Amino acid sequence: MKCECSRFRVIEGKSALVDEWLSFLNHHIKETSLTLVDEKIYVEAIFRERNDEGEFLYWFTLEDEGGQKVEESTSWIDQKHLEYWYACIDEDYSSMTLESEVLLIHPDVNL
């Protein structure tokens, strides 16, 4: 089981497109959630931060090893998601990934 939080910088001037992207994912939440099965992701949450350094998106995930990479998916949702990604995420900025040191899960949650 892997639990991590990754930070990615948004390209300056792309805030409105990020609004559209997040709205798209929320509007298609049921279809988007179905893509997590092949990726072996149990929880995925996206957070947004705006500060003096710019705008950032954070992905929190709880997942098993060996899941399908989103780039390998043929799902139209994942393909649209990647279109937004390539248009909005600054690939020249070093992303940051934090791995959990402690992971607490309620005993009634079956993973």
What pLDDT score was predicted for residue 1?
A: 86
What pLDDT score was predicted for residue 44?
A: 96
For the whole model, what pTM was predicted? 0.90
Q: In 10 A of CB 21, how many CB atoms? A: 22
Residues in a beta bridge with 103: none
At residue 62 the predicted structure's pLDDT band, cuts being 50, 70 and 90, is: very high
Nearest partner of 93 among 5, 4, 7, judged by Cα: 7
Amino acid letter at 21? Answer: W
Residues 6 or more apart whose Cβ sits within 8 Å of residue 16: none
Nearest partner of 46 among 36, 37, 87, 103, judged by Cα: 36
Report the chain's mean pLDDT, rounded to a whole number: 95
What pLDDT score was predicted for residue 100?
A: 93
Asked if pLDDT for residue 111 goes beyond 80, the answer is: no
Residues 6 or more apart whose Cβ sits within 8 Å of residue 53: none
Asked if pLDDT for residue 110 goes beyond 90, the answer is: no
What pLDDT score was predicted for residue 23?
A: 98
Cα 18 to Cα 31: distance, rounded to the nearest angstrom: 19
Amino acid letter at 96? Answer: M
Residues 6 or more apart whose Cβ sits within 8 Å of residue 82: 70, 71
